[in-house]
A = this chain, B = another copy of it.
Amino acid sequence: MSSTKDIDALIEMMAKLPGLGPRSARRAVLHMIKKRALLMIPLSDTLQNVAATARECLNCGNIGTSDVCDICTSHKRANGEICVVEDVADLWAMERSGVFKGRYHVLGGTLSALDAVGPEELRIPKLMTRIADEHITEVILALNATIDGQTTAHYIAGELETRGVAVTSLAQGVPIGGELDYLDDGTISAALKARKAL
């Protein structure tokens, strides 16, 4: 309990963030009040800036500050390879490993009969367009090793069968049930190097 509505509201909002519960939200708020000038005010300002400028890349779904992201506009990344990931956190994880030199395509989730998520909800039509437009020769499916992730990988592989592109997937090093964003950079790097044709 705090004596002010704003502090209570702040704790409630912080507790909505993934990874934080009520207790850690309270700790975080007290910590920020102690670090007002060094942390709380800069954080508020930066949140405002990011809220004003961050947007999804219209091409790949990455988060950036322009309509088309830096990776999509970089000519150095136009090597004919597209790495398909479930979400932006996975793209960031791939980038941290520093091994992949092509471009990305962020699906925004996985196919799921249960949640009624079909290809149209997943930026899959856009992937098909890009494969033609960007002269793609290899599609690397870097989806999570979950049932939904693998179902989605097989669906995309099926759609690409007649398109004349190689379809590969991360293989070695990704543990069963593992999610990319939890893996260390070395594991991702090994999995990419040992990728196999589907």
Contacts and interface: CB of A to CB of B under 8 A. Distances in A.
Interface of A: 1-4, 6-7, 9-10, 13-14, 16-20, 23-24, 26-33, 36, 39-51, 53-54, 62-65, 69-71, 87-89, 92, 95-96, 181-182
Contacts of A9: 46
A62 B13 CA distance: 21
Nearest to A45: B44
Contacts of A69: 3
Contacts of A28: 17-20
Contacts of A24: 18-20
A1 B46 CA distance: 17
A33 B3 contact: no
A20 B19 contact: yes
Nearest to A56: B33
A53 B16 CA distance: 23
A32 B16 CA distance: 10
Nearest 4 interchain pairs by C-beta: A19-B24, A44-B47, A3-B70, A1-B95
